[in-house]
Amino acid sequence: MKREFLPLAVLPFSFLCALQARAAELATGEVTELAPFVVSATRTPNRLDHLPASVSQVTAQDFEASQAYAVSDVMKRLPNVDFGGGPRSAAQIPTIRGYSGREITMLVDGARINDASSLSSPIYIDPYQLAAAEVVRGSTSSLYGSGGLGGVMAFRTVSARDLLADGQSTGADVRAGFASADLSQHYNARAYGQSGAFDALVSIGYADWGRIRQGGGDYLKPNDGHADNGLLKFGYQPNDWLRLQLSYQSYEENSLRPNNPQTDSSLGTPSSIPVQANRTRQDQAIFKLTSLDETGANDIDVTLYQTRLKRSAQRNPTFPALAATNSETETLGASIQDTLRFEGAGIGHRLTYGVDYYEDKQSAASSGSPNPVIPNGRQEVYGLFMQDEIALGEAWRLTPSLRADRYRTSADNSNSDSSDSHVSPKLSLAWQASPSTRIYASYGEAFRAPSLTEMYTSLSGRNYLFNFAPNTNLKPETDRTFEMGAAYTQGSVLAAEDSLRIKISAFVSRVSDLISNTVIGSYIRTAPFAGRGVIQQAQNIQDARRTGGEIELRYKKGLLEFNAAYSRIRVVDANSDANLFSPPDSLNIQLKQVLGSTGVTLMWNGRFVAAQDYDATALRRTAGYGVNDVYLSWSPEWARKSRIDFSIGNVFDQRYISYQSSNVYAKTVETGRNVKIAFSSAF
């Protein structure tokens, strides 16, 4: 372990020494601070570059500049954030530092997204509806409870107040787009306004698509479908310190494809792939009450929410084994937190404490009978948390946090209910070494309760693609992470009026009882499938070791901007030294240039991924690749509220496969060269 972690562990120190020397050279120059982003994923507002954690933010402008039709189009560029599963949007599974599914916490406006499936994306949101997205990497269970091993992925939807300019009472905007790879069309419209203390927004969207042209010229089909989405949001703010907000968001998709969206012709010839008419619908209602203090920071925050996700597939008469199926996951939740500020003996405190609760109800049926793959049942989680951000003078910040959780899991027709409790601590220390340099270190523990599906899934038969065995003895997995990092922000580095920001982090984790999908046997398949199938079971790996890190760089001079992000993660079974699921090293580079007052912006993005040739599960291994995308946007001088976007994704038509864990047999080639064009206008 020492040999693996040592190079990463010394990076922050080497980085600090070099930058401190450079800062001394520039001591007479003024430090230029980059935009002070506000990050809500840590439960309290903070400047992005002052957080004692590895955090990234994506803005609405970032999604727009990349013509993003799925959040993964932009978020996969963040360090140690990946989306695997293939080019279908329904298949893209997010991971943070190699953790996925229930191992990361996903939030929309503070409401949890808890999905039982590991084969379909849990994210059903149009980027056009987003004001920002945030990713916190590392242990977050001390604030959010079960699932915070990899971190938090938080989305904030747009409101009327985000879109209205000062003095503007009403507004509207529209967008239409086309993508050549899947012949998709995308349409969006929003209307918004405010009157006195009230504000409201209505947003609607529609998209349809067909077969996907993959890298090298092959086609992924069938892949025909369409989707509708909508967002309705009302706000009431009678004064500067109180706001009430009610929102409803919906997404509905109908498509003809394999019921496992990650699959391709590996199941057989294109004419023999078993497909079904699939329907997915997600509805989410959220009520928020926010009380503000005199500084505008949150004092009291109350969130009540309901999320309902339904999936169904019609019977395929050609393949009798593919019966009609339906499933539903409903999450009811509430979160209440309060923040107090006080000082004593020259020490400042920002104390945040609260309680939250959520309940997942899961049900499924196949041909009208209970579905053994998705067992009926429920899981309840209660949590109490506390965090104190302590200012020790001007240079030091100490942040201890603690959370206690209790969970209970039960399945219908099972006598093996499970319940347990866990206390998750975290301690962070940050030092402002100079006006330009900040260093932090943290230790945190995170845990995840086993899901209903992992414990109770049971499917046995030779006419199935896979078989699954239940494991009611699964234990919660626990992650203990030590992390160090540094941030450097400096102006006048290479030229006058430029700015540079570098963030670096390195971590080492020990994971107890890591829940891993394990092959425990095999069988010979019968129609409609062929070949040898495997029997899978969720099992605990007694002790796993994780090491990795991230580097982010941003340089800006005038209208030129350069961004880069590097990621590395390794996960090893500490007992056998077998390499477990670990996304490969990656480097993302972006160059953006605004051409003066012409209204034209040019951008190039390159994503370069190393080969993953060390996974102990050889079927998961993938070759390295590099993908280049180019973008152009134009807002004419005579119509500054209108915009034309043009882009070419995967310019060189690279044929590649993204590394992913959910379905080791599906080597689905990603999207090939993809020409996009979009027009948008605001009124």
The number of C-alpha atoms within 13 Å of 253 and in the hemisphere containing its C-beta is 26
Say if residues 485 and 502 touch (Cβ distance below 8 Å). no
DSSP 124-187: ---GGGEEEEEEEES--HHHH-TT-SSEEEEEEE--HHHHPPTT--EEEEEEEEEETTTTEEEE
Mean pLDDT (whole number) for 317-335? 86
Q: Quick one: average pLDDT of 65-89?
A: 94
Tell me the one-letter amino acid at 614: Y
Q: Which residue, among 450, 456, 334, 341, has the nearest Cα to 387 in the 3D structure?
A: 341
Give pLDDT tens digits for 107-124: 999 999 987 566 788 899
93-96 β-sheet, strand order? 81-84, 93-96, 99-100
How would you label 273-282 residue by residue, b for 16+ Cβ within 10 Å and e otherwise? bbbbbbbbbb
| pLDDT of 191 strictly over 80 | yes
Burial bucket for residue 468 (CB in 10 Å: 0-12, 13-18, 19+): buried
Top-confidence residue, 233 or 393 = 233
- Is the pLDDT at 495 greater than 50? The verdict is yes
Write the DSSP assignment of 535-600 as a string of letters.
Answer: EEEEEEEEEEEEEEEEEEEEEEETTEEEEEEEEEEEEEETTT--B-S-PPPEEEEEEEEE-GGG-E
Note if the bond before 528 is cis, omega within 30 degrees. Answer: yes
Question: Does residue 470 have a pLDDT over 60?
Answer: yes
DSSP letters, 437-459, are: EEEEEEEEEEEEPPPHHHHH--B
What is the pLDDT at residue 6?
A: 36
Q: Which two tokens stand for residue 183?
A: 């012949």
What would the DSSP string read from start to end of 391-432?
EETTTEEEEEEEEEEEEEEEETT-S--EEEEEEEEEEEEEEE
Q: How many CB atoms lie within 10 A of CB 349?
A: 13
CB 547 within 8 A of CB 567: no
pLDDT at 22: 43
| Res 27: pLDDT | 42
Count how many Cα atoms sit within 13 Å of the Cα of residue 340 in the half-sphere of its side chain.
8
H/E run at residue 366: strand 347-366
Decide: 90 and 120 in contact? Cβ < 8 Å: yes
Q: What's the confidence (pLDDT) of residue 240?
A: 85
pLDDT of amino acid 30: 45
- The SS3 assignment for 25 reads helix
pLDDT at 305: 98
Name the β-bridge partners of 170: 193
> pLDDT per residue over 192-202, tens digit each?
999 999 999 99
DSSP 28: T
CA-to-CA distance for 69 and 357, rounded, in angstroms?
33
Q: What is the overall mean pLDDT for the chain? A: 89
What is the gyration radius of the CA atoms in the chain, in angstroms?
A: 25
Q: Which residues are 430's β-sheet partners? A: 397, 440
pLDDT at residue 297, as a whole number: 61
Weakest-pLDDT range from 16-30, 386-400, 497-511, 656-670: 16-30
- How far does the chain reach from its first CA to its final CA, in angstroms? 59
DSSP designation for 620: G
Confidence of residue 367 (pLDDT cuts 50, 70, 90): confident
User: Do residues 83 and 93 make contact, with C-beta atoms less than 8 angstroms apart?
Assistant: yes
pLDDT of residue 31 exceeding 50: no
pLDDT at 573: 93
pLDDT tier, 490 (very low <50, low <70, confident <90, very high otherwise): very high
Residue 62: DSSP 8-state: H
Q: Is 532 exposed, middle or buried, given 0-12, 13-18 or 19+ CB atoms closer than 10 A?
A: exposed
Largest CA distance in the chain: 77
pLDDT in tens, 238-273: 988 899 999 999 999 999 998 788 887 655 555 556
- Tell me how far apart the alpha carbons of residues 432 and 462 are, in angstroms, rounded to a whole number: 62
654: part of which helix (H) or strand (E)? none
Q: Are 605 and 588 in contact (CB under 8 A)?
A: yes
What is the pLDDT averaged over residues 323-344?
92
pLDDT computed for residue 662 by the predictor: 58
Sequence letter at residue 580 = L
DSSP designation for 652: T
Q: pLDDT band at 663, cuts 50/70/90?
A: low
Amino acid 15: pLDDT: 42
Name the least confident of 273-277, 633-637, 651-655, 673-677: 273-277
- Which tens digit of pLDDT belongs to each residue from 570-607? 999 999 999 998 999 999 999 999 998 999 999 999 99
Q: How far apart (Å, rounded) are the C-alpha atoms in residues 87 and 212?
A: 8
Tokens of 35: 């935009």
Q: What is the mean pLDDT of residues 640-647?
A: 95
Q: Could you tell me the pLDDT band of residue 26, with boundaries at 50, 70 and 90?
A: very low
Task: Report DSSP letters for 191-250, one per residue.
Answer: EEEEETTEEEEEEEEEEEE--EEBTTS-EE---EEEEEEEEEEEEEEEETTEEEEEEEEE
Note the pTM of the prediction, 2 decimals. Answer: 0.91
Number of Cα atoms under 13 Å in the Cβ half of residue 70: 20
Local structure of residue 673 (DSSP, 8 states): S
- Domains present along the chain, CATH in parentheses: 2-682 (2.40.170.20)
Mean of pLDDT values over 15-28: 44
Report how far residue 616's alpha carbon sits from residue 621's, in angstroms, rounded to the nearest whole number: 9
* Phi-psi sector, 501: left (phi>0), alpha (psi -120 to 50), beta: beta
Is 11 a residue whose pLDDT tops 50?
no
Q: Report the pLDDT averaged over residues 506-516.
A: 94
Q: Is the pLDDT of residue 372 over 90?
A: no
Per-residue pLDDT at 527 exceeds 80:
no
Q: Whole-angstrom Cα distance, residue 514 to residue 232?
A: 40
Question: In a 10 Å sphere around its CB, with 0-12 CB exposed, 13-18 middle and 19+ buried, how is residue 87 labelled?
Answer: buried
State residue 246's pLDDT score: 98
pLDDT tens profile 418-464: 888 999 999 999 999 999 999 999 999 998 988 888 888 888 988 88
251's enclosing H/E stretch is: strand 242-257
Give the position of tokens 């030229």.
495
